[in-house]
A and B are shown apart, each in its own frame.
Chain A
Amino acid sequence: MADSSPMQIVVDGLVKRFGAFTALDGISFGVAHGEIMGFLGPNGAGKSTLIRILCGLLRPSAGRALVAGIDVAGDPEAVRRRIGYMSQKFSLYGDLSVVENLRFFGGIYGVSEAEMPERLRFAVDMAGLTGREDALVATLAGGWKQRLALGAAILHRPAILFLDEPTSGVDPGSRRRFWNLIHALSEEGVSILVSTHYMDEAEYCHRIALINRGRLVALGTPLELKQHSLGGELLALEGERIGEAIAPLARAPGVRDVAMFGNALHVLVDQAALRLPALLALLAGSGIADGRGRRIDPSLEDSFVHLVAAKLPPTEVAS
């Protein structure tokens, strides 16, 4: 039944309310076999809630979620046998060793005795913990813990993997190694749903769902999001006291949006080549003598800020 549908995960009009608070407000999307779907959004956007519903940990208030073709609310146990989950908080047992943890989860997930040694070796290898099998997990550094948690989540070869901010608090080198593992799994056909608030990580995903305040703001490949979501071209303007130019720039013809990015202003215009000279002149007129600018390719962060800002007063745009 799972293979009859091209989609491994189908989410349709999902709503989750906690009392008066609406955490998820009518979210719909699908994830294909072997696809890496990234959830990007500020803290509190509803990413964890969505993942928890898909793992059968929370019941949806309305809408439907099919995981591996199974209605999660209807038969969560059948779903749990087919998924692997890494919760946001590290949740292996610190007082057990590396293999003891793996053996426990292997047993819980029903990995057979015959298969166990091979799966343990695989997970230990993958985590880069060969030779440290008997170390207590509490003594491991963050990157190893994350990879071990991933190893524990895929011992039983799940078809679908849910990773809730798997790399938070992990150094960049470990993060890259972690993403290499995710891509290797995806090539084997595992569908992966991963949440993050690192923009650079989102670029590694096949598709990105941008979530803010429980709503799906945008959905597409990183390239699509960057190109289409902005609805224009991007200019980067720099200069002394450039911040003072925000107000006049925003009123200039052809300008759709102005946002501060580090020391520069990112200005969204209808046509970059057409508007740049006029805007530079405007900078000079505003008393910014060394004003300079160029057309840039938008980053995910640009589209994120643009999309989220479109729904929010500017002060609430989270990092």
Chain B
Amino acid sequence: MKWRRIKAIVVKESLQIVRDPRSLMIVLLIPLLQMFMLGYGVNLDVQHIPLCVHDREGSQASQGLLHQFAASPYFSLQAPMGSDAEIRKSLDSGRCNLAIVIPAGFSKGLADNGGGSVQALLDATDSNTANIAANYARSVVAAYSAGVQMEFIRNRGGTVQTLTPVDMQARVWFNEDLVSRNFIVPGIVALVMAIVGAQLTSLTIAREWERGTMELLISTPVQPMELMIGKLLPYFLVGMVDASICLALAVFWFEVPFRGTLTALFLTTGLFLTVVLCIGYYVSVAIRSQVGASQVALLLTMLPTTLLSGFTFPIDQMPPAVQAVTYIVSARYYVTIIKALFLKGSAWTALLAPILCLALYALVMVFFASRAFRKTLD
């Protein structure tokens, strides 16, 4: 292996990257775009659920309950409905996900024996959101009931003494506000890096075949290892710039708390980038057309990273067979590491296992990528 040849390739690749400002802009802008789209688009928090109400009674008591709903940040109250048909229509059209119907005898029931009932209608096409909405609605109603109960007791001249035998106080760690964005955004960084990294290199070899420059290149004494290193180094730099943009966005724009060390972050990001660059390079060697290589690289990085890295679906809830598969998804390790670095600020020692796995992965990929290229036209 000769450093002189590697240098010649590095210079040539860098010049070609710079000579193509449009592609360079795409490479730098796409991560930005993806971060914003996914950062805002993927939000598992349910807030401002559109709510319709049909108050058949219109009493002080029923308005009091509706007021509680209106005050909750989880619901946004739409205009009141006049009939069941109207309710049905708004649920159908998606104007609201939840409809609360208060029956005519509501306040009378409360006054008689403290037992009134309201009806909640839910659009459960998205069952997850429906479940969450039902729970929120239940808690709003429960809070209201408690108030009614106390007033009821007070009115009878009793003293209010609520006794709860066991009280569980949950303290949430690492993501104190339970904001889903805080654990999703680091995962998005991994996803964007995987996609962009493999795209960066998926074209390098295919382009040489398509432009006819490869035939001359393989007639020279250049070694496959030199070619790989020379081609990957400039893209590694571009990839690290991309990574820095993504990470900075995560911290400064999305305000995800960062508690780890920058050294650990950049070291592991470098390892992950090496893996995805090698995947792209390998694909580029195997598929000699730019369009084909780009498609395959996208498929190989985006799907596993989205589905099997623990970014969207928790790995420990997958069937055992699928869990086994996740071990060959490099993003699995990086997602684990980056989430821990962001939210937990874990020490090196706690992350040793995934870091070592990622490093081993990178090593294996470099080995395969360096051997993939054969200097022959056969």
Contacts and interface: CB of A to CB of B under 8 A. Distances in A.
Contacts of A58: 376-378
A108 B5 contact: yes
Interface string B198-238: 00000000000001111111111111000000000000000
B213 A93 contact: yes
Contacts of A55: 219
Nearest to B8: A107
Nearest to A76: B375
Contact of B221 (A87, A89, A92, A109): A109
Interface residues of B, number: 29
B218 A110 contact: no
A100 B15 contact: yes
Interface string B254-270: 00000000000000000
B8 A85 contact: no
Interface string A17-42: 00000000000000000000000000
Contacts of A261: none
Contact of A108 (B8, B376, B378): B8
A49 B19 CA distance: 34
B20 A95 contact: yes
B171 interface: no
A181 interface: no
A279 B195 CA distance: 79
Contacts of B378: 58-59
B213 A110 contact: no
Interface residues on A, range: 20 to 34
B2 interface: yes
Interface in B327-350: none
A14 to B, nearest CB: 15
B221 A80 contact: yes
Main secondary structure on A side of the interface with B: loop
A57 B212 contact: no
B16 interface: yes
A48 B223 CA distance: 24
Interface string A101-130: 001111111100000000000000000000
B149 to A, nearest CB: 78
Interface in A84-99: 85-87, 89-96
Interface in B1-38: 2, 4-5, 7-9, 11-12, 15-16, 19-20
Contact of A91 (B5, B9, B20, B213): B213
28 contacts: A57-B219, A57-B375, A57-B377, A59-B376, A76-B375, A80-B219, A80-B220, A86-B216, A87-B216, A89-B212, A89-B215, A91-B211, A91-B213, A91-B215, A92-B216, A93-B211, A93-B213, A95-B19, A95-B20, A96-B15, A103-B11, A104-B8, A107-B11, A108-B8, A108-B9, A108-B221, A108-B222, A109-B221
Interface of A: 52, 55-59, 76-77, 80-81, 83, 85-87, 89-96, 100, 103-110
Interface of B: 2, 4-5, 7-9, 11-12, 15-16, 19-20, 211-223, 375-378
